[in-house]
Amino acid sequence: MHRPDRVYTQATTVAAFAGTMAFTITNIYRFTVAGLTPFQLVFVGTAMEATVFVSEVPTGVVADLLSRRWSVIVGHAGMGVAFVVEASFASFTGVLVAQMLWGLSYTFTSGATEAWMAGELAGHSGDPDESVLSAVFFRSSKWSTLATVVALPLSFLLGTANLRLPLFVGAAVQLALVGFLVVAMEEHHFEPAAPDERSTWRRFTTTVRAGGAVIRRSRTLVLLAVVIAVAGGSSEAYDRFAERHLLLGVGVPRIGGHGPILGLALLFTTSALIGVGIAAWLERRSLRGRPSLRRWLAALILVQCGALVGFALAGSFLVAGVMAVIVERSRSVRQKLFASWIVPLTPKAQRATVLSALSQFDAVGQVTVGPGLGAVAGVWGVPASLVTSAVVLAPAVAVVTAARAADVPGTRYEGPSPLGS
């Protein structure tokens, strides 16, 4: 028998490697080979996010009623096929179909992988021990991070030969993972979910309403939900246009006679390594005290806004590269600190419900604001879209400040459960 915790760690690590291998190069592939316009670059990302949002519930039914194991296997197979489709059909339609297929396939794995692992660890004894689960998740996160750091420069290296190659390699790794899962991912303790536990639209609606009820009772959570939506929407410009702006707007120097992609590889690999160092430093330093954390969050948003403007207007690769690293690292740290603020504000019994509801604000922000930033890029250019994204994000500083003022002793949610007893 294969230990479920080991299979889970191996699967998430390989999936992280495959995803990084493919997605690291996709934005460059899309505008240089597939010829997508700035608006189309944003549109395919929006279409993928919308597909994930719509598909979460139907695919959850498959995992709840049929098999979590087969849900995960089908999902990884679909993601591998999506990479093949995108690499094979270099056009707006090909990329769009591939992204929607990837989004649909991803939802087959979302939640089902963790549910399978927890169910197999627990057996018939109920829920597994929380300390055991935490250890598995920590180990999986560590190995996935290492896989990402390895895959990122390798993707750029393969891309210097052919921009389709990283996509095909990512697909091959995903499909190899499917073969491994068919053999190693055993399911001995699966029981179809009871009717009141299934991922139906009614349950989804109830969950969103329950989370919304908790959020509405806390002024701080309402304000933080606004920040999540604003930050999610503003991120679309940088996420879709960073490589394009560096290659076509700023210019990437050739290193040792190699093409510009090597310069991008060094830049983004350096950023990832700095991120690992910052995470370790923060873990040791551990910001203590809520006021300190709140001030850091407001400062990080301001830093990100300034770096976005600097990145958009940079006239040299050195300046643009430094600004890009600041944007990525400030955003990453901000997201981690943000979670540290939100979790203690949520009632323990409804914590997962509230966090799930809050995550929907990020998706809504991306789907609603993203196309507008794409339109700005199409009419006035990518730098204008990047500056606009900074303008969109800037009011979040005031909202965080207002949330900080609202977050005083006695404001935590202590009312009745919105789900009933």
Please write the tens of the pLDDT for every residue from 305-336: 999 999 999 989 999 999 999 998 888 888 77
List C-alpha distances in Å: 23 to 28, 214, 296, 366: 10, 36, 30, 18
Residue 409 predicted with pLDDT over 50: no
- The reported pLDDT for the residue numbered 19 is 94
- The reported pLDDT for the residue numbered 399 is 86
Please write the tens of the pLDDT for every residue from 345-362: 766 555 655 666 677 788
Please write the tens of the pLDDT for every residue from 11-21: 999 999 999 99
- The reported pLDDT for the residue numbered 417 is 31
362 contacts: CB under 8 Å, gap ≥ 6? 228, 229, 231, 232
DSSP state letter for 193: P
Residue 289 predicted with pLDDT over 70: no
Q: How confident is the model at residue 418 (pLDDT cuts 50, 70, 90)?
A: very low
Mean pLDDT, all residues of the chain: 82
Please write the tens of the pLDDT for every residue from 72-81: 999 999 999 9
- The reported pLDDT for the residue numbered 96 is 96
Most confident of 23-37, 110-124, 344-358: 23-37
| CA 418 to chain centroid | 29
Structure tokens at 9: 């760690």
Residue 256 predicted with pLDDT over 80: no
Percent of the chain at pLDDT > 70 equals: 79
SS (H, E, C) 233-269: HHHHHHHHHHHHHHHHHHCCCCCCCCCHHHHHHHHHH
Least confident of 88-97, 275-284, 332-341, 383-392: 275-284
* Interatomic CA distance for residues 343 and 267, integer angstroms: 34
Please write the tens of the pLDDT for every residue from 227-238: 888 888 898 889
83, 22 contact by CB (below 8 A)? yes
Calculate mean pLDDT across residues 36-52: 89
**Nearest Cα to Cα of residue 189 among 122, 235, 250, 142:** 122
Most confident of 119-128, 289-298, 301-310: 301-310
Which residues make up the CATH 1.20.1250.20 domain(s) of the chain? 4-188+195-199, 207-406
3-class secondary structure, 123: coil
List C-alpha distances in Å: 256 to 259, 262, 263: 9, 9, 10
225, 374 contact by CB (below 8 A)? no
Structure tokens at 239: 């996420």
Residue 203 predicted with pLDDT over 70: no
Which H or E run contains 294? helix 290-313
- The reported pLDDT for the residue numbered 192 is 67
- The CATH class given to the 4-188+195-199 domain equals mainly alpha
Residue 284 predicted with pLDDT over 50: yes
**Nearest Cα to Cα of residue 340 among 360, 355, 356, 357:** 355
Structure tokens at 338: 């943000």
Burial of 136 (0-12, 13-18, 19+ CB in 10 A): buried
Q: What are phi and psi of 91, to 5 degrees?
A: -155, 165
Please write the tens of the pLDDT for every residue from 261-282: 888 888 888 888 888 777 667 6
Residue 221 predicted with pLDDT over 90: no
Calculate mean pLDDT across residues 383-399: 92
Q: How confident is the model at residue 257 (pLDDT cuts 50, 70, 90)?
A: low
- The reported pLDDT for the residue numbered 40 is 92
List C-alpha distances in Å: 216 to 83, 164, 212, 355: 41, 47, 6, 13
| CA 18 to chain centroid | 15
* Interatomic CA distance for residues 117 and 190, integer angstroms: 10
Cβ-based neighbour number of residue 140 at 10 Å: 21
Calculate mean pLDDT across residues 48-55: 85
Give me the architecture of the 207-406 domain, per CATH: Up-down Bundle (1.20)
Q: How confident is the model at residue 413 (pLDDT cuts 50, 70, 90)?
A: very low
Name residue 115's amino acid.
A
Please write the tens of the pLDDT for every residue from 392-405: 999 988 888 887 77
Residue 124 predicted with pLDDT over 70: no
- The reported pLDDT for the residue numbered 357 is 67
Higher-pLDDT residue of 348, 52: 52
* Interatomic CA distance for residues 227 and 234, integer angstroms: 10
DSSP state letter for 192: P
- The reported pLDDT for the residue numbered 86 is 96
